[in-house]
Homo-oligomer: A and B are copies of this chain.
Amino acid sequence: MNNINEKSSYHHGDLRETLLIVATEMLQENGINEVSLRKLASRVGVSRTAPYHHFKDKNALLCGMAEKGFEQLHQINKCGYEDEELSIREHFYRFIHDYIQFAHNNPDLYELMFGRTIWKDKSSTQELRDSAYPCFQFQVAMTQEWQKKGLFNVDDNALRVSQVLWGTVHGIAKLFIDGIYTDNSKIEEICDYAVSMFLAKSKEN
Contacts and interface: CB of A to CB of B under 8 A. Distances in A.
Interface in A3-40: 31-33
A60 to B, nearest CB: 15
A200 B198 CA distance: 9
A126 to B, nearest CB: 14
A190 interface: yes
Interface string A132-171: 1100100000000000000011001101110110111111
A79 interface: no
Interface centre among A107, A115, A153 (most CB of B within 10 A): A115
Contacts of A175: 114, 163, 166-167, 170
- Report how many copies the assembly holds: 2
A179 B124 CA distance: 11
A153 B168 CA distance: 19
Contacts of A182: 133, 136
Contact of A168 (B157, B171, B185): B171
A111 B159 CA distance: 24
B180 A119 contact: yes
Across the A-B interface, give the 6 residue pairs with the lowest CB-CB distance, nearest first: A171-B171, A167-B171, A167-B172, A170-B171, A201-B201, A168-B168
